[in-house]
Amino acid sequence: MNTVRLDLPFDQIKKALRQLPPQEKIALWRLLDKDLDRPAIALRFASSINSIRKTYLHFSEEEVMKDAIKASHQVRKTSHAKSRS
* Per-residue CA distances from 15 to 6, 8, 47, 54 (Å): 15, 11, 32, 39
Determine the number of helices (DSSP H) and then strands (DSSP E) in the chain.
4, 0
Condensed to tens digits (0 to 9), the pLDDT of residues 6-52 reads: 888 999 999 999 999 999 999 999 999 999 999 999 999 999 999 98
Q: Given a cut of 90, is residue 84 above it in pLDDT? A: no
pLDDT of residue 5: 86
Q: Where are the domains of the chain?
A: 11-84
- The answer to whether the beta carbons of residues 34 and 23 sit under 8 Å apart is no
- The answer to whether the beta carbons of residues 28 and 20 sit under 8 Å apart is yes
